[in-house]
Structure formats: C-alpha cells, structure tokens
Amino acid sequence: MNRCPRKPFLLVKSTIFVVLAIIFSTSILTAFAQGQEENQPTENAGHKEVFNVSEVILEHVMDAHQWHLTDGLVIPLPIIVYSAEKGLDVFSSARFFEHHEPVDYNGYKLEHNHIYLADSRKAVLDLSITKNVLMLFINASVLLFVFLSVARAYKTNKGKAPKGLQSFIEPIVVFVKDEIVKPNVGPKYEKYLPYLLTLFFFIFFGNVLGLLPGAANLTGNIAVTLVLALLTFFITIFSGNKNYWSHIFWTPGVPHWLRVIILPVELIGVFTKPFSLTVRLFVAITAGHIVILALICLTFIFQSYFVGIGSAIVVIFINLIELLVAGIQAYVFTMFTSLYIGMAIEEHEHH
C-alpha cells in the first residue's frame, strides 16, 4: 500500500525525460533548419557549394571565441590576450567578424580558433572567455543555485519530508554517498565526500546542459576532462599512505629480481589512471554529440522530408540514451575516483 504513490511519481519523471528529449531534438532541428539557406547548394562561379557535414559538426563540438546559437544569432565573447610586443589587450570577438567575414583587428588575427600577431604569426597568451569557459561559469552557477536552494530547504523544512527540488537531489546525494563513495573509499570516506559529490554533479549537470540546443560541449572538451582527472590524480597522490607507496616501490611477497620488472609497471599504472579518466569522459560525450549532429545533417544531405522525419525520430531516442549516458559517465568517473582514493588510503596488514 505504501508503494502505490511512488508509481505516479515515477511515471511523471519518465514523462518529463521524454518531453525534454523531444524538446531538445525539435529545437536542434529547428536551429539547423534556420541555417539551411546558408549551407544549401548554390551555384556560384560555375560550381556548386555542397553542405559540409564535417564543418558543421566540428563547429558545434569544438570550442570557439563566439557563441553561434543559430543563423543570425551570435553572442560575441570577450577576447583577452597578452603578448610581449603589445602587452595586455581586451576587446570583443565581434571585432574579428565584421560584416560576417573574418578580419584582422588591432594587429591580431583569429584563425582556426587560435589568435596570432597578424604581422609575425607569433602565438599570444590567450586568456579569452571562450564558449566552453562561459559554459563552465553557467554550469557552476547552476550548481550553486541548485545546492543553495536545497540547503535552504533543509533549514526551512527541518524534520519534514523533502519536497520540490530537495526531493529530487536528496536521493541522488544518498545514492552517491552510500553506493559509490562509502564502499570504495572505506571508513574515511567523509573526508573526501564533498569533493566526490561536487565531481559527480559537476559532470552530470555539464553532460545534461550540453544536450540543450545551442549549448557548448563542456564535458566533451578534453581540457576540462583533463583538469578533472588531474584533480583526482593529485588528491590520490597526496592522500597515499605508507602502505600504498610501499606496494608501488617495494611490492611485498615478490622476489627481489621480479621487483625490477614490477616497479616500472606500477609507476606507469599511477599515470595511466588519470589518462583513462580523461579519455573515457571526453570520448563518450563527444561521440554522443557527433552521432546526434550526424543524424540531423542527413536531412540536409538528402534534402528529403522523409529522411528528416526519420532522423528526428531517431534523434529523439538518441537524446534519451544521451540523458542516460550523462548519468552513467558521472557515475563511472566518480566511482573510479573513489576507487583510486580508497586504494591510496587503505590500510594493509602483512604477515
């Protein structure tokens, strides 16, 4: 009898996911359709310009100095560059795209998302707020808003059943704590719980926000995944106890002559762990975006309503899978991080 009220709640949550997927897919197709005129084959100087699939996909997957939401709607971003010759310069990225054509500005040239000195082609220190950097700020702002709201709800509804946003976040927090962190880290899990919870929700929110039409590919950027992996790497290294390092440099129960072979293997293993974390998240998220964009591009390659309808249907289901992948990748990254930390702080007894 007590479980009955949960069925409508689960049905509502499932319906919300389906509706969101449909909205995402429809919005993406609409955005592409608005820019179709720009990419449709046109006759110019005796030859036809074809729809460039790779260019469209790379434009949406890679980072950029301006945020191209749809045809005619571009958000210019701040350019912050430093060079020994010109010092520090701050200006809008719109300066590089006057009359929709790439131009040099104030001695700088933007080419393939890299900024150079126009006269010497020398690279400059680029500290610009790019599309992914802005998405990073948005992701962090959403995290702060959600968890400050949940913390406020805990204070006002103390001793009461959670409701609203709190009822959605609390089960996830409990799941991460009891099913991921505690079993893998061990008795000292509370020390690392804040970092691991932040890691999980940062990746999860970044994955989900990246599925929105026109959004940036934050967690599919290898620089972002590398930084997350390096944070895990340094926390593991500095948390490692005597037993952890002795297993690496002086593996117990192994003949002395064999330790010469095991030592480099163990050291390589220390550095391959963050590498695997970096590549796994980067590849999984980027591959999902590429598949969705490739399916959408089929509409404009074949220029067929039948293909367009078929692509839209498939994209809806792919979006549902991507919502699942968003949670799975956050789970996997957090689980392996917990496992590595647990291995570093585990106490061993040797007889």
Q: Give pTM, 2 decimals.
A: 0.81
The residue behind tokens 């968003």 is: 326
33 occurs within a structural domain: no
Residues 97 and 138 in one domain: no
Same domain for 306 and 319: yes
| Token duo for residue 345 | 């702080």
- Residue 86's pLDDT is what? 85
pLDDT of residue 100: 64
**Tens digit of pLDDT at every position of the chain (351 positions):** 444 444 444 444 455 555 555 545 544 554 454 444 444 444 444 445 566 777 778 877 888 888 887 767 888 899 999 988 888 999 888 888 776 667 888 888 888 888 888 887 788 888 999 999 999 999 999 999 999 999 888 888 877 777 888 888 999 999 999 999 999 998 889 999 999 999 999 999 999 998 888 888 899 999 999 999 999 999 999 998 888 888 888 777 777 777 788 888 888 988 999 999 999 999 999 998 888 888 888 888 888 778 888 888 888 888 889 999 999 999 999 999 999 999 999 876 544
pLDDT score for 16: 52
Q: What is the rounded distance in angstroms from the CA atom of residue 176 to the CA atom of residue 192? A: 12
- CA dihedral (295, 299, 305, 310) in degrees, to 10, reads -10
pLDDT in the model for residue 144: 94
* Single-letter code of the amino acid located at 70: T
The H or E element spanning position 46 is none
Tell me if 339 is assigned to some domain: yes
Q: Are both 137 and 281 inside the same structural domain? A: yes
Give residue 135's pLDDT. Answer: 93
Give 3-state DSSP helix, strand, coil % of the chain, rounded to 5.
Answer: 65, 10, 25
**How big is the CA angle at 309 (ends 15 and 21), to the nearest 5 degrees?**
25
- Shared domain for 117 and 230, answered yes or no, is no
At residue 300, the pLDDT reads: 80
Whether 268 and 169 map to the same domain: the answer is yes
Cβ-contact 114, 120 below 8 angstroms: no
Per-residue confidence (pLDDT) for residue 181, from 0 to 100: 94
103 and 221 both lie in a single domain = no
The pLDDT score that the predictor gives to residue 282 is: 94
Strand partners, 70: 73
pLDDT at 38: 45
Could you tell me if 226 and 272 lie in one domain? yes
Residue type, 222: I
Burial class (CB in 10 A: 0-12, 13-18, 19+), 192: buried
Residue 84's domain comprises 78-128
Same domain, 154 and 193: yes
35 in a structural domain:
no
**CA 65 from centre of chain:** 18
The predicted pLDDT at position 3 comes to 43
In a domain? residue 64: no
Q: What is the pLDDT of residue 351?
A: 43
CB count within 10 Å of CB 241 equals 12
**Final residue in a domain of this structure, among 94, 128, 162:** 128
Confidence at residue 196, expressed as pLDDT on a 0 to 100 scale: 96
Same domain, 95 and 225: no
Q: How many folded domains does the chain comprise? A: 2
Which tokens hold the place of 301? 């390659």
